[in-house]
Structure 1
Amino acid sequence: MKQTTTTRRMARFNHYLFIALFLTAVGLIAWLSTHYSFEADWTHSGRNSLSETSSDLLATLNAPVKIEAFVREEGELRRQIESFIDRYQRSKGDIEISFINPDLNPQRMRELNLGNGALLIHYQGRSEQLQAINEQNVTNALRRLSRSGDRWIAYLEGHGERDLRSEANHALGSFGSELERKGFKLQPLNLAKVGTIPGNTELLVIASPQLALLEGEVALIEGYLQRGGNLLWLTEPGSESGLEELINSLGITKLPGTLVDTNSSKLGIYNPAIVVVPDYPFHAVTSNFTALTLYPQSVALEFEETNDWQGKPLITTLTGTWNETSEISGAIAMNAEDGEREGPFNLALALTRTMEGETTNGETTNQRAIVIGDGDFLSNSYLGNGGNLDLGLAMVEWLSHDDALITIRSRTASDTTLELSNTAMALIGFGFLFLVPVGILSAGLVIWIKRRKR
């Protein structure tokens, strides 16, 4: 086509118009990208997005969520946490995350008993700590924090029990504070004064009474258990302060003496009356729990299944333990003639009982109780040792039926590996090394010849 001055001007105009429209479109796209966002997860299993279960839970949260991440400023861990929490922020815009350098806040790290990489999640005045960060743990923590309704824990007093609000060394004040942070409400209960156990009590705690309970008080506890109440019982070596028949009705017998552990000296603990437990039987309470726990001045428990209660070991000692019936001082050794036996022993038992009748959703009522042969491990003096705190909290969560949590399976692609035979790999190699270059050269040669013929 013959080009004239007019056609050249029109072509030049169209060229400039195209450039102007192109730049305008790029500018509009850039502006839109600062005001709107769109993300798509094209992985096979959607493993870079939240599960539907987590998204549904976030939709029910009607208050802001604040997350404190205790992580050092530099390093890959901080970027991983930012990327992970961003998934939650995409579903719920009022999730706020702040980073705290543990090296600059050692006092707070000690108070909270946290390590580098831990999260502290706050929601509606309650908070929960997480050390292992994954979708299942974070979603379940939010679920626990969002539970509506008051959850009352009543603890006996009036007989020298360990107090869940006292700061004395032998008391359980620090443990009680952690329970309140998780949303539980604590209520001291003097049965001689009130004469009843309130019907909204979710859990009754008997923490090492030193004086004998009255027959009427024992009858009130028995009635509470008959109605399906849940129980956490911290017992000690020695008498049961008038509760002998009650512990026998649960199918539990206490062995005489105090447990001693020859394994503790290997860890630099030179008090044989402190039992060290590194491993745990399989149970919902100890699922994925691997921390070491310590038990000073403890007693061994035996269980014989009754018509009502079914029991499972929750904490067991190692070999190298026995029940010392004499005074623990100087050189000690097991003496079978005094009724001493070699372990391992049960230190705690988890009991369940199926109650008659059904709940409103048609499920059978399941009653739960835990009896522990030691009260010191949750005391203010020993709570910060090893995993004592985490195990105590896991016990209360199980007793309050908070173990029925969301299970989110890890989502991985089904085709992350490509397996090729030797023949296939040889063909691919031959193709890229010879066929592809020859094809490109041939195409170039053909084009060159055609242009030469014009």
Structure 2
Amino acid sequence: MRAGRKLRLLARFHNTVFVLLILALAGMIGYLSQRYSRQWDVTQNADNSLSRASVGVLKQIRGPVVITAYATPSAPRIGNLHQAIRKIFAPYLRANANITLRFIDPTRQPRQTRAAGVKINGEVVIRYDGRREYLTTLNESQITNALMRLARGQAPLIFYLSGHGERKLDGVANFDLGAFGRRLKTQGFKMSALNLSIAPAAPTNTRLLVIAAPQVNLLPGEMKKIHAYIKNGGNLLWLLDPGPLHGLQPLAEQLGLILTAGVVYDPAAGRLNLPPDMALGISNDSHPIMRHFNLITVFPDARRISTNDARGWRATPLIDTAQGGCVTTSPVTSDFQCDPKRDAAGPVAIAVALTRQVENRTQRVVVVGDGAFLSNTFLGNGGNLDLGLHIVNWLSHDDRFIAIQPHALKDARLDLTPLAGRLIGLSYLVILPLLFLAGGIAVWRRRRMR
């Protein structure tokens, strides 16, 4: 009898100690959770984390960034507007301690709202280093591009040659590069057309000059101005289509280029059910433009680009193609076969980067044997857009902003109504714990009755 009583007392003691240990552990976890903050993003595509590109832009922020949201506490169809804005900017605040977020209610502080030039409820103003950006659409792409524009400082100026039927960076035709030009603007670049038949010379304040496939011959005087621009160390992006150079042969000689006739035939494109005149690019990751670039690029009607390392230029191939293919002057059809006697065997380079030192500074040139890959028709194919942005950032000496490809969205966001959120919270925080407690009491009572 005494032994049974001692066993019961011992069991009760053990249970008491166990409960006290559980309570102590819970208290320790609560204390540590208040003192230290740790978060893990377990969504499939890291939906609650910033992309590598956004993190890279934040690393370029050297001073305080003040984000001011001019928003009422609530809004129709949104509910708690302040909470929604905080949620969007939370990853940026966690990633960079120099960023602060504050709110101004337009209904209570109308003077400050008008002074800031804000016109829409929920509009956000980002201030950095004496400059500001306005945002009415809030997502990672818009926010990161705004921070990139602020981090660049003065907007780099790009001139593109015009007056000869070139592809325009503000054009809307399928042939033009308007969509690419708009994307450059979102990243902080400014663009202007350059007609060398009128302008006395190529401007010296430009980050780079773009020559995109002229359709008629340049005048000798225009070519002299381009020659002087290159001689003085100007940066250049030259997009070449197959066919005649339309007066730009002296430029090819000045850059040490060897341009042979013909178009590239790549059998790999046919295996992906692409048209026979398409070529798939293979990146040379030894160059900064292509570093960490692992996207497929697609080039319609590409031409071969070779160099002879003349005039002090250092040439690096950027894109190779036509592994198992060739360069041919024959029409490329669906049943085309390379002729070893007539066609030049692949792989061949279709894009090269050139550098040299001019008066203690590095001159940069990129020549691509295809002007269409950045056109409105083909810009969205594979990684063409990303490649174009890489090239322009490198040519403008903004290596720190060479973008990396965004990851694809794989899982969708689940938005709950306030009522659904409260019901789920009630179920997990109240009902389930009570059920576990009731089950434990029932087991305890049954064991005690034995």
Structure-1 separation of matches of 2:372 and 2:261: 18
Q: Aligned to 1:92, which of 73, 82, 99?
A: 99
Structure-1 separation of matches of 2:366 and 2:292: 19
Superposition TM-score, scaled by structure 2 size: 0.62
Q: Secondary structure at the match of 1:348?
A: strand
2:188 paired with 1:183? yes
Superposed counterparts of 1:11-22, under 5 Å: none
| Cross-structure match for 1:213 | 218
Structure-1 separation of matches of 2:149 and 2:281: 28
Return the offset for 1:218.
0.5
| Cross-structure match for 1:161 | 166
The C-alpha deviation readout for 1:357-378, integer Å capped at 9, x for no partner, is xxxxxxx311100000001100
The letter for the 2-side match of 1:196 is: A
Q: Aligned to 1:285, which of 289, 294, 297?
A: 289
Return the offset for 1:191.
0.7
Return the offset for 1:267.
1.2
Partners of 1:61 and 1:146 within 8 A in 2:
no
Return the offset for 1:227.
1.4
The letter for the 2-side match of 1:333 is: Q
Structure-1 separation of matches of 2:89 and 2:370: 41
| Cross-structure match for 1:365 | 361
| Cross-structure match for 1:77 | none
| Cross-structure match for 1:352 | 355
Structure-1 separation of matches of 2:176 and 2:262: 23
Structure-2 separation of matches of 1:56 and 1:403: 11
Structure-1 separation of matches of 2:397 and 2:101: 29
The C-alpha deviation readout for 1:43-101, integer Å capped at 9, x for no partner, is xxxxx9xx9x96883524466599xxxxxxxxxxxxx99764341465321289xxxxx
The letter for the 2-side match of 1:227 is: N
The letter for the 2-side match of 1:287 is: R
Unmatched segments (≥5 aa) in structure 1: 1-32, 43-47, 67-79, 97-120, 132-136, 357-363, 407-454
Partners of 1:89 and 1:95 within 8 A in 2:
no
Structure-1 separation of matches of 2:138 and 2:218: 36
Structure-1 separation of matches of 2:334 and 2:160: 37
Superposed counterparts of 1:258-297, under 5 Å: 258-269=263-274, 271-297=275-301
Flag the 1:331–1:189 CA change in 2: closer, same or farther, 3 A.
same
The letter for the 2-side match of 1:371 is: V
Superposed counterparts of 1:85-164, under 5 Å: 85-88=92-95, 90-94=97-101, 124-125=133-134, 142=147, 145-164=150-169
Q: Aligned to 1:315, which of 314, 319, 322?
A: 319
The C-alpha deviation readout for 1:158-188, integer Å capped at 9, x for no partner, is 1110011111001101001111111111101
2:306 paired with 1:302? yes
Return the offset for 1:147.
1.9
Query: Aligned Cα RMSD in Å?
Result: 3.6
Structure-2 separation of matches of 1:302 and 1:128: 45
Structure-1 separation of matches of 2:69 and 2:148: 12
Superposition TM-score, scaled by structure 1 size: 0.61
The letter for the 1-side match of 2:205 is: N
Structure-2 separation of matches of 1:374 and 1:307: 24
Partners of 2:373 and 2:384 within 8 A in 1:
yes
Return the offset for 1:281.
3.6
The letter for the 2-side match of 1:365 is: R
Flag the 1:173–1:400 CA change in 2: closer, same or farther, 3 A.
same
Flag the 1:398–1:161 CA change in 2: closer, same or farther, 3 A.
same
Flag the 1:125–1:222 CA change in 2: closer, same or farther, 3 A.
farther
Q: Secondary structure at the match of 2:393?
A: helix
Q: Secondary structure at the match of 2:100?
A: coil
Q: Secondary structure at the match of 1:194?
A: coil
Structure-1 separation of matches of 2:138 and 2:226: 31
| Cross-structure match for 1:10 | none
The letter for the 1-side match of 2:375 is: S
Partners of 1:276 and 1:294 within 8 A in 2:
yes
Return the offset for 1:155.
0.4
Aligned length: 313
Return the offset for 1:215.
0.8
Return the offset for 1:332.
1.9
Superposed counterparts of 1:187-202, under 5 Å: 187-202=192-207
Structure-2 separation of matches of 1:142 and 1:61: 9
Return the offset for 1:287.
1.1
Q: Secondary structure at the match of 2:341?
A: helix
Flag the 1:209–1:54 CA change in 2: closer, same or farther, 3 A.
closer
Q: Aligned to 1:375, which of 366, 371, 375?
A: 371
Structure-2 separation of matches of 1:266 and 1:84: 42
Partners of 1:260 and 1:322 within 8 A in 2:
yes
| Cross-structure match for 1:386 | 382
Flag the 1:346–1:89 CA change in 2: closer, same or farther, 3 A.
closer
Flag the 1:317–1:129 CA change in 2: closer, same or farther, 3 A.
farther
Partners of 1:273 and 1:296 within 8 A in 2:
yes
Return the offset for 1:198.
1.7
Structure-1 separation of matches of 2:203 and 2:303: 31
The C-alpha deviation readout for 1:128-181, integer Å capped at 9, x for no partner, is 9978xxxxx97x984554222231110011111001111100110100111111
2:346 paired with 1:343? yes
Q: Secondary structure at the match of 1:59?
A: coil
Q: Aligned to 1:395, which of 391, 397, 408?
A: 391
Structure-2 separation of matches of 1:365 and 1:128: 39
The letter for the 2-side match of 1:348 is: A
Superposed counterparts of 1:1-20, under 5 Å: none
| Cross-structure match for 2:244 | 239
Segment drifting more, 196-205 vs 56-65: 56-65
Flag the 1:326–1:405 CA change in 2: closer, same or farther, 3 A.
closer
The C-alpha deviation readout for 1:318-346, integer Å capped at 9, x for no partner, is 412211111223532222433x1111110
Q: Secondary structure at the match of 1:191?
A: coil
Partners of 1:128 and 1:182 within 8 A in 2:
no
Structure-2 separation of matches of 1:240 and 1:39: 68
Structure-1 separation of matches of 2:169 and 2:89: 37
Q: Secondary structure at the match of 1:323?
A: strand
2:231 paired with 1:226? yes
Return the offset for 1:125.
5.0
The C-alpha deviation readout for 1:223-262, integer Å capped at 9, x for no partner, is 1111111000000111111111211221111122111111
Q: Secondary structure at the match of 1:368?
A: strand
Partners of 1:144 and 1:402 within 8 A in 2:
no
Structure-1 separation of matches of 2:197 and 2:220: 10
